[in-house]
Every structure is written in structure tokens, then in C-alpha cells.
Chains A and B, each alone.
Chain A
């Protein structure tokens, strides 16, 4: 009993006081500030500004997820099934961006895409365009930056699924004369579908609460949910609205994670 007290309790106490209690405080705010009841929730889910932001977030996150997972699938395929040399090169291409700070990566995209950036300068030097094309401060930049950030995260579940593919099934298909394209479409792709689902949900959950990349590359033009919460705290203080939006976000993410866990729980059984 004393061991329980000294070993298990400290972290529970620590997180209980500094995380759970204040979160309950946030939940309470969402029901009380400024109006008691469900007013904040109905405002978050009906007013133009928040609903617009929610739809934009969902739309961009679906795009980001599609781009990240398909890019990740292609490069993971090479990482898992390529020759040893190819494997080590792709591993470097995945791991180096993965370990680099989200800020440096956002800055990299600014250097690449901004009006005086690499791409615009090259295009102008080659005479393909007369004046710079606006490629930052819009949704395009946000999708590019977020996908770039999330590709390595999609790679890991995909790699696990691809490594678990039973080589004998592929050998059998090959022996029966299936073409390589057919082996891929009809056997390999369906056999890795659990990895695709895992990667999709993981990337979607990550992308939906994103703050830094959209704020830097969107330049205040395409505000997403997380940035709206920030604005509601620091620019136009509306604690109740920020709290209600956080609770909605938490519930959405919780729902997706629940599906993910059940799905993986079934597969583990």
C-alpha cells in the first residue's frame, strides 16, 4: 500500500492538479462564460465565423490527410521493399525532416514559396512569369506545409503494415502468373489497408488541432480551429467561446481515437 502511495500516486496527483482540474475548469467556463447554459455551444455551432472555420478546418484536413497518406505510401513502399542502398537513402529522407523543428520546416516553406523566395525567383529568372505568384498566406501554403509535417507520421503505421505482409502470398501470386501491377493492386494494397486506415486517422487527428504551421503559412488569411481558439483568448477575449470550441475539438478527436482503438483492438484479438 505504501509502495502504491509513493510510486503510482505522484504522477496521478501531478496530472490531476495541473491538467485534469484546469480542464474541468475549461469545461465549466464553456457552460458559464458569459451566459449560463448551452449558449456558447449553440453559438460555436451556428454562428458564421466559427462554423466557417470548422468547415475550412475539416476541408483542409481531409486534403492534407489525402496528400500525406498517399505520399507516405509511395515512399514507405520504397523504404520497406527497396534494395538495401535505396532503403537507407529513403530512411534518411524520412528521418531528417522528422527530427527537424516544425518552425524550421515552416520557415523552409516560406523561403521556398514567398514572393522573394526560391521558386518565384527561379520562375522569374527563367522568364516563365513576369511578376511573383502569391503562394504563401493562402490555403495552398497551409496544405503544403501541413502535409510536409505529417508525412513522416503516416510512414510509421504504413511501414508496420507493409512489413507484416506475408511474403508467401506474393510468391504464390507470382507463381500463378499474376503481373506485378496485379500483385500490387489486388494483393499488396488490400493487405496493407489496415495501415492505410491507421495512418489516415492518425494524420487526421494530428492535423485537426494544428496551430503553428497554418498560422505561419496561412498568414492570418485562412484561420483554422486552433488559431481561432488562440484569437479568442489573446486578441478578442471570449473565454467561453474558446472553451466551448476546445470541448468540441476534444470530443471530435476522442471519437476518432475511439474508432481507431476499437478497430485495432479487434485486429489484435
Chain B
């Protein structure tokens, strides 16, 4: 029974908020079809030129590739590190577990600009030693993204471990399984969905990452958000509108499909 159903006023106000939330996403659609080279509305002459530019311009393709490479590498390594850490904490329950977890979560709670400055400082120093993990290099971006996404992987994997039955591990232990067998044979297969979820979350965060990337790259390693930033900062380039429309379509599709799947699941129950 719902004693406090939203009335007219609440519905109306929410409608306004919903319009506010969706308005900028809709506003990019007409801009992406302008025939001019600056931010403007198509004045009767709709054009596909900015969409064409996305596919013809090799730079966009290069950035897409960079983003995917960074995302996959950083997420894979971050999930591996996070999984090892979480399993270690879960199995051994060492003293100071809270403190260690707090330390690992630090990059998530620190203001992004502080993390950016820190990583820029680190990669600048590293540039004196090597030219793989350094400022404006792919390795450097991967490392920085790993630092930024590791806490999220830890949170997701911790949640998934907290739902795991400890007796299963104890049973394996009592039957003489050593640590590697317990980890690879018992724990990892049971948290596989958590691991996959953590990987996707990390990839998404890395794919969208701009705050730190802005500090640690300049001309050589340009991820997709970084290239969008360049197009936005200097002179507002309508190609960004075309790209945004494509990204918005993908996100909308995924969110709607997921909602539809959840609804079907609930109905079939």
C-alpha cells in the first residue's frame, strides 16, 4: 500500500527535472547536422559532413584504438591486482585490513585534480628513467588509469566475496588444498561474475577518463576523451556533436535494453 503517492505537484516538478536532465543530450542532435564548421544549428541545410569526418579522419580512429588499448590493459591489470588483494584480505583477515583497504580506496576519494597532479609528478620523474611508462606515453596512461580504477575494482570484488560462503573454502582447506588450489579452484570460479563486472566497470571508467589524462598526455598519446577535449577547448568543433550523438545512442540503447531485461525477469517471476 502506498500512502504517499506522488501527486500533481511532485510529478510536474519531476517532469521539469527530467527535461533538465535530458535537454543537453537532445540539443546535440541538431548541432551535429549543421553544415558549418562551428557550433550552430542547421538552417535548413542538414548535412552529414561531421559524421563523415569522424570516419574519414584517421586521427579519430587512432584515438579510438588508443582508448581501447588503454582501457583493456588498465582494466585487466587493475582487476588482477584488486582480485589478489581482496582474496588475500578475505582468506587471511590480517590485522590492519581496514587500514589497508582504506589506503587502496584513496584514489577514489581524493579530489581528481590532486590525483592528476600526483600522477603527472610521478610520470615526469619516470620519464628520466625510461620511455615506456612515462609522460605522454601509452604505458604511462595505462599506469595512471590503473591507479584511478583499482579502487572501484576492489569495491566490486569485495562485495562479490562477501556473498561467498566461507565454508566452501574451509571444506577445500580441510581436504588438504593448498593456497593456489583454494584461490584458483574454489574462490576465483565462484566470484567470476564479480570479476567480469569489475572489468566492465573499470573499462568504462577508463574509457571516459579525462581529468587525469589531461595532465599526463599532450601530443603523442591521445585517448578519445582527450581528443574530444581538444576539439571543445580550442574552437568548438561540431564533429564532437556527431561523436556525442553516436555515444548517446549507444548508452541509451544499453540502458533501455537492460531495463527491459530486468522488467521481463520480474514479470516471469
Chain A interfacial positions (CB closer than 8 Å to B): 2-4, 6-8, 10-12, 14-15, 18-23, 25-26, 29, 71-72, 74-75, 77-78, 81-83, 86, 88-97, 99-112, 114, 116-118, 121, 148, 151, 167, 170-171, 173-174, 180, 183-184, 188, 205, 208-209, 211-212, 215-216, 225-226, 229-230, 233, 242-243, 246, 249-250, 253, 257
Give the interface SS of chain A, mostly helix, strand, loop or mixed: helix
- Beyond contacts A107-B24, A107-B244, A211-B112: 17 other A-B pairs, Cβ-Cβ < 8 A, are A11-B84, A11-B154, A19-B107, A22-B125, A71-B17, A75-B17, A86-B11, A94-B21, A103-B225, A107-B241, A108-B244, A117-B31, A117-B39, A180-B4, A212-B211, A216-B232, A246-B114
Can you list 17 residue pairs at the A/B interface with Cβ under 8 Å? Answer: A7-B84, A7-B87, A11-B150, A96-B255, A101-B228, A104-B228, A107-B228, A108-B27, A110-B39, A116-B40, A170-B3, A205-B109, A209-B113, A225-B113, A226-B112, A229-B117, A253-B111
Contacts of B256 in A (CB 8 A): 92
Q: How far is the CA of A233 from the CA of B154 in the complex (A)?
A: 31
A103 touches B210 (CB 8 A): yes
Contacts of B169 in A (CB 8 A): none
Contacts of B89 in A (CB 8 A): 8
Contacts of A6 in B (CB 8 A): 84, 88
A82 touches B4 (CB 8 A): no
Contacts of A22 in B (CB 8 A): 118-119, 121-122, 125
Supposing A78-B11, A116-B39, A183-B4 touch, asked if A111 and B31 sit within 8 A by C-beta, the answer is yes
Contacts of B143 in A (CB 8 A): 18
Contacts of B100 in A (CB 8 A): 8, 12
Interface positions of B from 197 to 251, Cβ below 8 Å from A: 204, 208, 210-211, 214-215, 225, 228-229, 232-233, 236, 240-241, 243-244, 247-248, 251
Q: How far is the CA of A25 from the CA of B119 in the complex (A)?
A: 11
B189 contacts partner chain A, Cβ-Cβ < 8 Å: no
Contacts of A229 in B (CB 8 A): 113, 117
Report the minimal beta-carbon distance from B99 to chain A, rounded to whole angstroms: 11
Give the size range of B's interface with the partner.
35 or more
For B245, the closest partner residue in chain A by CB is A104
Q: How far is the CA of A250 from the CA of B154 in the complex (A)?
A: 22
A92 touches B111 (CB 8 A): no
Contacts of B176 in A (CB 8 A): none
From A106, A209, A233, give the contact of B112 (CB < 8 A).
A209
Q: How far is the CA of A92 from the CA of B31 in the complex (A)?
A: 23
The 5 closest A-B pairs by CB, nearest first: A108-B24, A209-B111, A7-B88, A22-B122, A8-B88
B13 contacts partner chain A, Cβ-Cβ < 8 Å: yes
A101 touches B225 (CB 8 A): yes
B44 contacts partner chain A, Cβ-Cβ < 8 Å: no
Q: How far is the CA of A20 from the CA of B64 in the complex (A)?
A: 31
Chain B interfacial positions (CB closer than 8 Å to A): 1-7, 10-11, 13-14, 17-18, 20-25, 27-28, 30-31, 38-41, 81-82, 84-85, 87-89, 91-92, 94, 100, 103-104, 106-107, 109-122, 125, 143, 146-147, 150, 154, 179, 183, 204, 208, 210-211, 214-215, 225, 228-229, 232-233, 236, 240-241, 243-244, 247-248, 251-252, 254-256, 259, 263
B225 touches A249 (CB 8 A): no
For A212, the closest partner residue in chain B by CB is B210
Supposing A100-B25, A102-B208, A111-B39 touch, asked if A171 and B3 sit within 8 A by C-beta, the answer is yes
Report the minimal beta-carbon distance from B240 to chain A, rounded to whole angstroms: 5
B41 touches A118 (CB 8 A): yes
Report the minimal beta-carbon distance from A233 to chain B, rounded to whole angstroms: 7
A104 touches B28 (CB 8 A): yes
Contacts of B91 in A (CB 8 A): 3, 7
Contacts of B236 in A (CB 8 A): 107, 110, 114
From A8, A21, A100, A112, give the contact of B248 (CB < 8 A).
A100
Supposing A18-B147, A103-B225, A229-B113 touch, asked if A75 and B251 sit within 8 A by C-beta, the answer is no
Identify which of A101, A183, A188 gathers the most chain B CB atoms within 10 Å of its CB. A101
Supposing A6-B84, A116-B41 touch, asked if A12 and B104 sit within 8 A by C-beta, the answer is yes
Contacts of B1 in A (CB 8 A): 167, 171
A118 touches B30 (CB 8 A): yes
A250 touches B103 (CB 8 A): no
Contacts of B92 in A (CB 8 A): 3-4, 7-8
Q: How far is the CA of A212 from the CA of B230 in the complex (A)?
A: 12
B84 touches A250 (CB 8 A): no
Supposing A3-B88, A230-B113 touch, asked if A10 and B81 sit within 8 A by C-beta, the answer is yes
Q: How far is the CA of A18 from the CA of B225 in the complex (A)?
A: 23
B81 touches A208 (CB 8 A): no
B25 touches A101 (CB 8 A): no
Supposing A18-B122, A75-B18, A167-B1 touch, asked if A109 and B24 sit within 8 A by C-beta, the answer is yes
Contacts of A91 in B (CB 8 A): 259
